[in-house]
Amino acid sequence: MEARKNPEYLRSVAGAVQEFRDALVGFLELHVTNDGPDAYGRGMAPAVFARDGADPQEIARRAATVARAAGRAAEATPLTGITMAVQGVGTIDPITNWRTITMPKPVLEAGEILNLCDFALGRLEGMVTKAEAELPPAVGAEAMHPIVWGAAARLWRDRHYRQAVAAAAEAVVLTLKSRTGRNDAAESSLWQEAFSDRDPQPGKPRLRWPGDPADRDVVTMNSGLRFFAPGVQMTIRNSATHRADELDEQAALERLSTLSLLARWVDECDLVEAPEQSDGPRN
């Protein structure tokens, strides 16, 4: 996807610009601005001077923080057009050239850099809004159940498709364990017992499709889940976890879709627990 049309990327650039601006403000706290009617050597002397008594080591530490942040924020300049035309110098990138404010004959002022950062942040906000409005409806991996996509997203974007499927499958298993409060058996057995047609037992609740248990559609869903859920565990989770070969994107997407469907059905099922056992009559 083109960078200008990727809301997530634009937000990350905006975050980098904000980080740079905050770091620069922290750096300027240890300096005084060389401006106003009493400005010293205006145009020849640096735009900022270290404050009297400021610790040189702390100044150096903050300068390094600004420099690192500038490197991360540099992508904002071509995206937002915040370059400055300086007579006799040419076009200047205010982010990558921030350090000139501490040098003789500075080509930038601290206030100008901060103002341009604010402009870039506003421009990026507008670009995010536009990019989101132009996005097609989510029909791919991003449209999966949040448990599935949350576990798979980072690996998926790095094109580690098999690992993404394995991570998503583990997340769905954790959802089952959380819902049933069980972690006392192998995963395949837990799926089988969760959807078993037997009555729940103490410490062994069941998942049941909502509705009248005698309704034909409810009976069909419960019967199907009894085979579907363990089948997903054995065919998708186990193969993704134990095999070393990579999956192609289409095959991985189909597996994620299946895991997403199972996760949604687990969410929709009712948890049925065994009745509390009485301790018998009390004297």
DSSP states along 35-58? -STT-SSTTTS-SEEEPTT--HHH
Q: Which tokens belong to 165?
A: 């499927």
Residue at which a domain ends, from 103, 134, 165: 134
pLDDT tens digits along 185-235: 788 889 999 999 999 999 899 999 999 999 999 999 999 999 999 999 889
Q: Give yes or no: residues 211 and 109 share one domain.
A: no
Q: Domain residues for 152?
A: 141-272
Identify the CA nearest to 120 among candidates 79, 70, 72.
79
Q: Which tokens belong to 52?
A: 């009297």
How many domains in the chain? 2
* Bridge partners for 271 per DSSP: 207
Confirm whether 18 is domain-assigned.
Answer: yes
Q: Give yes or no: residues 148 and 249 share one domain.
A: yes
pLDDT tens digits along 178-198: 999 988 878 888 999 999 999
Residue at which a domain ends, from 73, 103, 134: 134
pLDDT tens digits along 51-64: 999 999 999 999 99
pLDDT for residue 158: 84
Whether 237 contacts 170, CB under 8 Å:
yes
Q: Give yes or no: residues 98 and 213 share one domain.
A: no
pLDDT for residue 282: 46
Q: Give yes or no: residues 92 and 204 share one domain.
A: no
pLDDT tens digits along 19-54: 999 999 999 999 998 875 555 656 678 999 999 999
Compute CA 36 distance to the chain's CA centroid, rounded to the nearest angstrom.
45
Confirm whether 16 is domain-assigned.
Answer: yes
